[in-house]
Amino acid sequence: MIDTAEGIRIRTEIAGIGSRQAAALLDLCVLLGGYALAVILFFSFQMLAEGAGLEVLTQVSDFVLGLMLGGLMLSFPIYFAGFHLAWSGQTPGKRALNIRAVSADGAPASTMQHILRSIFWVLDVFLMVPIPIGSMLIIVTPRCTRLGDIAAGTLVLHERNAASYEEPWDTEAWTGRENNQLGLSLGMASRLQEEDRLLLRDAIGRRDLPAETRNDLYGKIVQSYGERLGFTPSGSRTAALKELYLFVREVRSAR
C-alpha cells in the first residue's frame, strides 16, 4: 500500500529483490558494453593516428582515453540519472522488467529525487556488508528500499497493466470544448509541469479501485489543483478531472 499526496491509500505491487537485481544486471551490461565499445573505438583511432604519423591526434586520444578510464565510476550515476529523467523513472533494465522508480507517495519522482537516488547507486552496489548494502536493504526493509530510495524518498513499483497507461480521451482537446466549467486559463500553464500530466493520467487509469474510492481520489485531486491554480471545482468529479487533464495535456504539449 502507498499513501498518495491526496490522502488516498492505493494498493500496488512493490518490486522486490529479484526483479530489481535483474534490471540492474541488464543496465550494467548496457553500460559496460557501451563503455567497452567506446574504449575499443578509441584504441582503433589511436592506432590509425599513429600509423598516419598524426602525433597531435594521438596525444588527444590518450588524454580522452585517460578521462574515460578515470571517470568509469562517475559514469554509473550519470547513466542512471540520465535514463531515469529521460524515461520518467525507467532505465533499459527497468523497462525490460516492467518496473519504474516513483516518489514514495506514488506520484512521478522529481528531478532531484532521480539525481539523488542515482548518486547513492555506487554505494548501494559496491559497499559490501557482506553482500551489497543495497541488496541487503531491499531484502530487509518493508518497502524494498535501498539507500538511494531512502535518501530520495522513492519506491520501485511494478507497472500496472499496460491498458492503464493508454492515453485517455486521445481524440479530444481542451480548446474548443463547450462544457468547460473550471475556469481554467492559459495563464496557469507556467505553474504546471510534465509530472502533473503524468500524475493526472495515472489517477485516471486507476480502474482497479472501487468506484467510491476512485471518486474520492478524483475529488481530492481536483480540489488540490483548484487551490494551487486558483479555480473553484464544479460539476461531477469525473468531469472535472477530465477537463483538468485535457487542459494540462494541451498546455504541456504546447511548450
59-66 mean pLDDT:
60
Q: Is the pLDDT of residue 59 over 70?
A: no
Does residue 40 register a pLDDT over 50?
A: yes
| Average confidence (pLDDT) over 185-203 | 85
**101 touches 90 (CB < 8 A):** yes
Tell me what the mean pLDDT of segment 218-247 comes to.
91
Three-point CA angle 111, 174, 200, nearest 5°: 35
pLDDT (0 to 100) of residue 8: 47
Q: Label the pairing between strands 9-10 and 99-103.
A: unpaired
Please tell me the predicted confidence (pLDDT) of residue 162.
42
pLDDT at 51: 67
Averaged pLDDT, 233-255: 88
The residue with cell 491509500 is 9
> Which amino acid, 128?
M
pLDDT of 71-98, one tens digit each?
777 888 999 999 999 998 999 999 999 9
Q: Average pLDDT, whole number, for the chain?
A: 83
pLDDT for the residue 116: 95
Question: Is 165:159 a contact under the CB 8 Å cutoff?
Answer: yes
State the cell numbers at 185.
Answer: 486559463
C-beta contacts of 13-19 below 8 A and 24+ residues apart? 13/157, 13/158, 14/143, 14/144, 14/155, 14/156, 14/157, 14/158, 15/97, 15/99, 15/144, 15/156, 15/157, 15/158, 16/138, 16/144, 17/135, 17/138, 17/139, 17/144, 19/97, 19/99, 19/158
Task: Examine the pLDDT at 190 and tell me if it is beyond 50.
Answer: yes
